[in-house]
Amino acid sequence: MITKFHNQFLLFEKAVKGGIPLYLRRAFVLFFFLFSIHLFYTYIGTYNQLSTRPSSIHVWAQCARASVALNYYDGDMNFFKPKIHRSIDGEGVTGLEFPFVNYVPAVCYKLFGFNEAYYRGFVLLCMALGLLFFYLMLNRVTENPLLSFALTLSAYCSPVFLYYSNNFMPDIPSIGFTLIAWYFLFGYVRSSQESHRKLYLFLVFATLAALIKATSLVTILTVFGMVVLDYLKFYKTPSQQQLFLKKPRVIICLLIGIASLFAWYFWAHLLEQQYKSAAFAMSTVRVTDWATAREVWEIIYNNHRFEYYPYETYVFFTVVIALMVIGWKFVSRVYFSAFFIATIGNMFAVYFFFYQFKDHDYYIIPLTSSVFLMYLVFADAIKHVSIKYLSVLPYLFVAVLFFNLKEGVKWTRKDYQNRYNPDNVRYFDNTDVYNDLEPKLRKLGIGRNDKVLSGFETGWCNSLYKMNQMGFVFTTATAKEEMAHLLSLPQFKYMVVSDTVKYNHMFPGMLNYPVIASHRGLLIYKLR
Amino acid sequence: MRCALLILSLLFFSCAQDPEVIASEHFYFSRPSDTADVRTAEDSSAKGHYILRLDSLHKFGFSFTHPLQEKDLEKRLIVTYKAKIRTNHIYSAGSMVIVLSHHDKVTHWRPNNLNRHIADLGRWNWFYDSLSLPKSTKEEPYNTITVQGLLGDAVNESFDFDSVSVYVKGLEP
């Protein structure tokens, strides 16, 4: 009876699809994704923060990246000399990851005027495009837009993902480009490989992903692994001899990607040394003793694990892995080897940056390529099982995912809105008082390049960025001698103090300067 | 074509959830009188319009009190307020105070300094702010919310309030 139902359902599906022209089916697939992802973002509240200044968790890292974009816009747009607002001497040139994610918003600022919505919107666009290409990749396999979107949402629905999706960090564009790269690579592999356009597109997106976040180099290295397996005849089947017909060309492309990455980071290190700026982490941060490793693990387990994914999603991961083990013979060799090698690579990335995971929840984002690839393997397996045995299986999984995602989406929304709760925002960040200070400074005749001393800073250059002033900062850890030295330097013309009581306590007798303005509890002093 | 248009129009449909307003109060200040609890003054920039003025002799201003029901206490409660404020002092001590009490016993007292909302001295500054309330527990229960305007320890300060609105809102837990 099951076989009869299976065959009848297959005929029904064919009849429905056959009755709809191909262009309409493709349009429906696209519009279904756009409509669904828009509904999702609206429900979460993603659009509400598009015009918000950097704030809340990791405001320090947000301001540092946004500072590079603003300096491009207000400076000379020299791509190879990224700058931040903080420096004692010089223009604030610094080394950092490939500043593509900073440069594109700067171009938007030049065209349309400064507005952080362009930066946040660009990051969100990169993520949405990545999801679209992943969804299309899944749909090519499953031919079922419902299941494809459900799996895409399951991999994406995470508090960390949503918080950084409309933010200033490069991790989200990196995973977006990674997903687009995989789309083109699998498209290339499936094609006749006479035209290499898709291979070159894979190279562009995979290299971009790695340049803007080094841990995404895993994608290029994974394909290297697949080429090696291909040489070992791992992919040989009765219907195909090899996966890559022109392996030398593929290897050259991968080497170009890796060489680009090394070239940029070599240049970034040179900038860092020449201009003595250490605003961005440019090396691995390993943990070398068990006590620290245990400490980091405990923080990840207690604080971050349900920020990475909701509980229900972890349950679904377990189900997916179990089903893949049980249905091993239906698992595609190509997709599984990509998932397996990428996961090994991501585990190495965790090892090299393990200490950063303690306080930086966004480090997980580029490593979720394993989750997306796992779902690709799973989707392909479901398709093969459904063709052979049970054609309604994809729809059964849609129903399962609906109930699974229902709670996960609510959890994600709650966590996301909690991060922008004014109490939490103030807990992590007290720089909202600088948000609208710049116009007042300009009215006072203070130019952007009139260096200021700003304190008490809680980040790297949060206050300087928000008031768009070049300068330097002092904190509660600044020694009296250092403060005296900073005040003596002729390049600092003004000082902005957030707490004069604390200042007079820490640096007695060092505030004999005229007050020229106040703003939301800040006092602006003229030094010289 | 109609289907495509319907889908396109639905692209702009918003289904975000807003918190439910449990209680609200808008304060209007009237001509000064000897019997009034608070001090009001005529706004120098708008004749016939009266504002609330706090100083060292009149430290407490408006007060909004709302008793909470059991069903409200199960929600995530947020107090939001918006107003115009004005001060003549750099180190302003003007605050909004949230008091949570249980049968006249105060369990939470939280002043929120309004200095961060004063962009310009001597001028009106609009602001909007919100505060999440802690959950009512056995150890620290509450069933009444009070929101007050308060001028703390500032000397020689004159702090003005106008167009004050206070809302108590509830979200699903």
Query: What does the pLDDT average to over A261-285?
Result: 86
- Cβ contact, residue pair A45, B131, below 8 Å: no
- Cβ contact, residue pair A43, B119, below 8 Å: no
Query: What does the pLDDT average to over B115-144?
Result: 90
pLDDT at B2 over 50: no
pLDDT, tens digit, 9 for 90 and up, residues B74-94: 888 999 999 999 999 888 889
- Cβ contact, residue pair B15, A43, below 8 Å: yes
Gap between the Cα atoms of A456 and A113, Å rounded: 30
- In chain A, which among 2-61 make CB contacts under 8 A with chain B? 27, 31, 34-35, 38-39, 42-43, 45, 48
pLDDT at A6 over 50: yes
- Cβ contact, residue pair A38, B15, below 8 Å: no
Output the average pLDDT for chain A.
Answer: 92
**A440 contact B CB<8A:** yes
pLDDT, tens digit, 9 for 90 and up, residues A485-500: 999 999 999 999 999 9
pTM: 0.89
ipTM > 0.90 for the complex: no
pLDDT at A33 over 80: yes
Q: Which of A31, A52, A511 to mutate to test the interface with B (most CBs of B within 10 A)?
A: A31
- Cβ contact, residue pair B132, A521, below 8 Å: no
- Cβ contact, residue pair A422, B130, below 8 Å: yes
Residue A15 CB-density burial (10 A; 0-12 exposed, 13-18 middle, 19+ buried) = exposed
Question: Residues of A with CB below 8 A from B121's CB?
Answer: 518
Radius of gyration of chain B (CA): 20
Question: Residues of B with CB below 8 A from A35's CB?
Answer: 7, 10-11
pLDDT at A2 over 70: no
Res. A260 pLDDT band, cuts 50 70 90:
very high
Kindly report the backbone phi and psi dihedral angles of residue A429, in degrees, each rounded to the nearest multiple of 5, phi listed first: -155, 125
Host H or E run for residue A227: helix A217-231
Q: What is the pLDDT of residue A11?
A: 65
- Cβ contact, residue pair A38, B11, below 8 Å: yes
- Cβ contact, residue pair B15, A39, below 8 Å: yes
Question: Residues of B with CB below 8 A from A31's CB?
Answer: 4, 7
- Cβ contact, residue pair A39, B115, below 8 Å: no
Rounded to a whole number of angstroms, the distance from the CA of A163 to the nearest CA of chain B is 16
User: Do residues B158 and B41 lie in contact, with contact meaning Cβ atoms separated by under 8 Å?
Assistant: no
The set of residues, in sequence order, having a beta carbon less than 8 Å from that of A416 and lying 6+ positions away, is A44, A45, A46, A159, A162, A163
Q: What is the pLDDT of residue A464?
A: 96
pLDDT, tens digit, 9 for 90 and up, residues A416-444: 988 998 888 888 888 889 999 999 999 99
Res. B10 pLDDT band, cuts 50 70 90:
very low
Question: Residues of B with CB below 8 A from A521's CB?
Answer: 91-92, 115-116, 118
- Cβ contact, residue pair A432, B132, below 8 Å: no
* Cis geometry, peptide bond prior to residue A456 (ω within 30 degrees of 0): yes
- In chain A, which among 466-525 make CB contacts under 8 A with chain B? 515, 518-521, 523
User: Do residues A91 and A156 lie in contact, with contact meaning Cβ atoms separated by under 8 Å?
Assistant: no
Res. B4 pLDDT band, cuts 50 70 90:
very low
Gap between the Cα atoms of A490 and A57, Å rounded: 35
Q: What is the pLDDT of residue B155?
A: 75
Question: Residues of A with CB below 8 A from B129's CB?
Answer: 422
Q: What is the pLDDT of residue A145?
A: 93
pLDDT, tens digit, 9 for 90 and up, residues A48-105: 999 999 999 999 999 999 999 999 999 889 999 999 999 888 889 999 999 999 999 9
Residue A488 CB-density burial (10 A; 0-12 exposed, 13-18 middle, 19+ buried) = exposed
- Cβ contact, residue pair A31, B7, below 8 Å: yes
- Cβ contact, residue pair B118, A43, below 8 Å: no
pLDDT, tens digit, 9 for 90 and up, residues B31-79: 776 555 567 887 777 778 888 888 877 778 888 999 998 888 888 899 9
Res. A15 pLDDT band, cuts 50 70 90:
low
Question: Residues of B with CB below 8 A from A49's CB?
Answer: none
Question: Residues of B with CB below 8 A from A42's CB?
Answer: 13-16
Gap between the Cα atoms of A442 and A332, Å rounded: 62
